[in-house]
Structure formats: C-alpha cells, structure tokens
Amino acid sequence: MRFLMPLVGLALLALLVDVGRLTHCLVKAVWPRFHHPVVFGLAFAVVVVGLVAASLAGQNGASWGRPLAWAGDLVMAALLYAMLAALLIELARLVGRLTGWLPQPTPRRLILITGVVVVALIASLLAYGLANRTYHLAQTDYSLELTADDPDQAPVTAVLVSDLHLGQINRAGHLAKVVDAVLATDPDIVLVAGDIFDGDFRAIGDPAPIKAQLERLRAPLGVFAILGNHDAGSTNDQMVAFIEDCGLTLLADQAVEIDGRFSLVGRRDSSPIGQAAERQAVPQLADGSLTRPVIVLDHQPSHLREYLGQADLMLSGHTHQGQIFPVNLMVKALFEVAYGYYQVPDADLQAIVTSGAGTWGPPLRIASNSEIVTITWRPRA
C-alpha cells in the first residue's frame, strides 16, 4: 500500500499532463497558426493550479470565497472526466496505430469532432450532476424487525440524515430542503450520522440561518447526532458548541436509553481530519446492560464487525455512495457495505448506510442521489 499511492499519484499526474497536451492539439486544430506549446503549457498549469488554490483559499467563510469554491470544485470534477477521456483517447490511438485504421498524422477534422464530443459530454455530465444535487433529494425507506426486550412495544420510525457538509457549498437553502423532508415524515426520532460540517466551521459564513434550520429539527424521542471525520480540526470546539446550542444531543462514545424502548449508541469518528483520534470503547456494549434493540450510530461503515453480538443495527454514512462516477465503483470495492441495507451473514446484526444529504468536493451527484432515510423497526421476540 505504501508504494501504491505514489504510483496512483504519478498516473494521475501523467493523465493531467496528457489532458494539457490533447487540449493543445485541439487549440491548434481550431487555430492552426498557434505554435506556442510552452506558452500554452504554462498557461494551462497556471489556470489549473490557480483554480484549485482559489478553491482551498475560499474555504474561510468570506463571501468572496464562495464563487471561488464553486469554480474550483467544478473544475476538479471536469478534470477528472477530462483525464478519463484522455485515457480512452490514448487507448483508441494505440489500437488505431496497431490496426492501421487511424491515419497518421491524425486528421484535423477528427481532432475537432473528438474535441467537441468530449467537451459536450463533460459539460452534460456536470450539468446533470449539478441539477441532480440541487433539485433531487430522495427518500429511501426500510422496514426491519429487531430483537426487543418487550415484543409488544410499538414500532419506531427514525429518520437518518448524514453528510450535510455545511460550508461554502451547502448552506441554509440546501439544509432547509433537508429539514422540510425530515419533518414531512413525522418521525419518532431523528439521527444525524456525522459530517455535519465540511471541515471548517468558518466556511458556513453567517451561522444564524444554519442555526434557524437545525433548530427546526424536532421529534418526540429527540434529535441525536455524532461527529464525522470532517467535523474536526482547529474549529472542532466551535462545531460542538454550535450543534449543542441548536438543540441536538451530541453523543461521543456514549449510550443512552430512549424511553425504555431501545438503546442508542453514538460513536466518535475513528479518523477525524486534523486531530488525534480519541475513540473509546463503550462499556455498556460489552456488558450487555443496554435495553434491546441496540442501535449504533457510527459515521464510517468500516467498523461493522466491531458490533457483532453487541448491537442489532448499525447506521452509517461517510461513503456518499461514491457521489460521482467512477468513484462509486471504488467505494463499492472498499467497503463491505458501501450503501443501502445489509444483513451480516449468520448473525443478527443489520446495517444501513446512507448516501448522505449533501456533497463533498464537487457539488455534483452522478451515479448516486442525495437522500434522507426512514427506518421503521418492529420488535421481534
């Protein structure tokens, strides 16, 4: 693994350089008199580095930083798809040379057609992903049976929300849609599974509109939250104080009994960005003293096996279901359960992983949807 990441980094750098070279070929096809590859290369590098740097610099919450954050994140997505297109083009060129069907040098007309098609496809993907993220908030429903101490107790309906990533991209307007969708389900309890913020509390700008929306989240059995890996760093204390001030009950490796009907365990994140992990064991999990069913909120689903024989249901987020293609394929390969419902074979433990209600990085949803999740569980003797 130590050598894999540098190799992946070199491969991505090579593809990025090839994107610049192919873009230069397209510019020459459009403007045949242009013969300045060094000038073009420097300009390409300055634009790419500048937009990425501007995106990072724009995460301080200043109003001028928000357009830079949007532009930088969209350019990152465009470059990802440009690199994929470059890879396909190079493979096609190789096959063309080996088989002899591709004339040498490549005709200007073919370069122009290929360039137009690639640019149109990338623009279409970005437009679709942006619209899907902005206008589509799915509601996914699950109905489960969980072992309960009292088999006659009434069913419980919970709403699971995760990965809001409040910051320069996701602000009060997006949060309002999520809160409206949650309240429309009339849940017994609301569970927020981490990554409430996007890494820096200052990036939300004026906190008042965000606070107004979070204060609307109310349910008869309460609103409980945990922190995710992005709810960390130098502004972590501000995040915690803000969440609690909004009326949410924050759990950090703690277990609480809910109305004598079930137990809720909220875990600290195992790898908070920018600070040391302080994840502790939850004693009540091991001693079996919790009221069943036992529901665990753990931001990252990679800890599923920790709860075998100790919990009945694990609820997570973190993966975004990959958010955009082809990252969704990578995420699916990395996690035992990357999205949706999962029953651990030969065990009572069940798991649900949500794709989240917000976005991280590019404000796009391609190959996944933003969602809230409703879960109704009934007692099983």
Taking only the tens place, the pLDDT of each residue in 263-309 is 999 999 999 998 887 888 898 988 888 999 999 999 999 999 999 99
Report the CATH number that the domain containing residue 268 is assigned in CATH. Answer: 3.60.21.10
Q: Which two tokens stand for residue 87?
A: 């890879």
Q: What was the pLDDT predicted at 100?
A: 81
pLDDT score recorded for residue 6: 77
Q: What is the DSSP letter of 20?
A: H
Candidates 39, 61, 47; CA nearest to 16 is 47
Which of 107, 133, 159 delimits the end of a domain? 133
Q: 62 Cβ partners below 8 Å, 6+ apart?
A: 205
CA of 280: how far to CAs of 277, 303, 329, in Å? 9, 13, 32
Judge if 152 and 86 occupy the same domain.
no
Domain boundaries, position 48? 4-133
Reference 207, options 243, 250, 249; nearest CA is 243
In the chain, the amino acid numbered 32 is P
Q: Which of 133, 167, 182 is the last residue of a domain?
A: 133
HSE-CB for 349 with a 13 A CA cutoff: 18
Sheet holding 350-353, edge to edge: 254-258, 262-266, 294-297, 313-316, 350-353, 340-343
Amino acid 378 reads: R
pTM score of the predicted model:
0.92
CA distance 41 to 332: 36
Q: Do residue 116 and residue 151 come from a single domain?
A: no
Exposure class string for 271-309: b at 16+ Cβ within 10 A, else e: ebeeeeeeeeebebbeeeebbbbbbbbbbbbbbbebbee
Query: Could you give the number of structural domains in the chain?
Result: 2
Whether 191 and 61 share a structural domain: no
154/112 Cα distance (integer angstroms) = 65
Domain check: are 164 and 302 in the same one?
yes
72 plus 124 within the same structural domain = yes
> Is residue 230 located within the same domain as residue 146?
yes
Of 82, 110, 133, the one marking the end of a domain is: 133
Are both 229 and 112 inside the same structural domain? no
221 and 360 together in one domain: yes
What is the DSSP secondary-structure string of 63-95? TTHHHHHHHHHHHHHHHHHHHHHHHHHHHHHHH
**153 and 56 together in one domain:** no
How far apart CA 206 and CA 69 sit, in angstroms, is 17
Q: Is 195 helix (H, G, I), strand (E, B) or coil?
A: coil
Are 150 and 121 contained in the same domain?
no
Handedness of CA 166, 272, 250, 341 (dihedral sign): positive
Please tell me whether residues 114 and 184 are part of one structural domain.
no
Verify that 124 and 152 share a domain, yes or no.
no
Given a cut of 70, the residues of the chain with pLDDT beneath it are 1-5, 54-64, 381
